[in-house]
Amino acid sequence: MTATAEDCLFCRIVAQQVPADVVRESARTLALRDIDPQAPVHVLVVPRDHHADIGALVAADPTLVAELMAEAAGVAAEERLVDYRLVLNTGASAGQSVFHVHVHVLGGRPMGWPPG
């Protein structure tokens, strides 16, 4: 299942049609607190443009991948996280529930392996 920009939750957040707790913004990205946090700090970094998953983003705009990672690191620094996890889920069976690429920044507790 994939979303189009018209029915995508993150596109609606970027367009300010849906409220969100925004913690950081750049010209091409937006970082917001997850509404169902899996750690004391759980922030999502999304591109403003719609790309269904990381594969689609890499094919369309590889420089934006670097910007997403830089913004994720910036979130971690602003949240004063020394140790943190970055997660990108691709596909429903991998746990992707919103089909607009996004990086999870998780921290504030020990992060064992496997995740959970």
54 in any annotated domain: yes
pLDDT per residue over 49-91, tens digit each? 999 999 999 999 999 999 999 999 999 999 999 999 999 999 9
Residue 21 placed within a domain: yes
Q: Is 112 within the bounds of a domain?
A: no
Q: How many domains does the chain have?
A: 1
Question: Domain range holding 47?
Answer: 5-107
Q: Is 52 inside a domain boundary? A: yes
Classify residue 115: in a domain, yes or no. no
CB within 8 Å of 67: residues ≥ 6 apart: 26, 28, 29, 47
Residue 113 lies in a domain: no
Mean pLDDT of 21-48: 97
C-alpha to C-alpha distance for 76 and 88, rounded to whole angstroms: 16
Range 20-39 burial, b when 16+ CB lie within 10 A, else e: beebbeeeebbbbebeeeeb
Average pLDDT of span 86-111: 95
In-domain check, residue 116: no
Residue 96 lies in a domain: yes
Predicted confidence at residue 60, as pLDDT, reads 97
Strand partners, 22: 32
pLDDT band at 111 (very low <50, low <70, confident <90, very high): confident
- CATH code, domain carrying 96: 3.30.428.10
The pLDDT assigned to 53 comes to 95
Q: Is there a cis peptide before residue 114, judged by omega within 30 degrees of 0?
A: yes
DSSP 79: T
The residues carrying an active-site annotation are 102
Q: To which residue do tokens 């091409």 refer?
A: 28
User: Residue 3 pLDDT > 70, yes or no?
Assistant: no
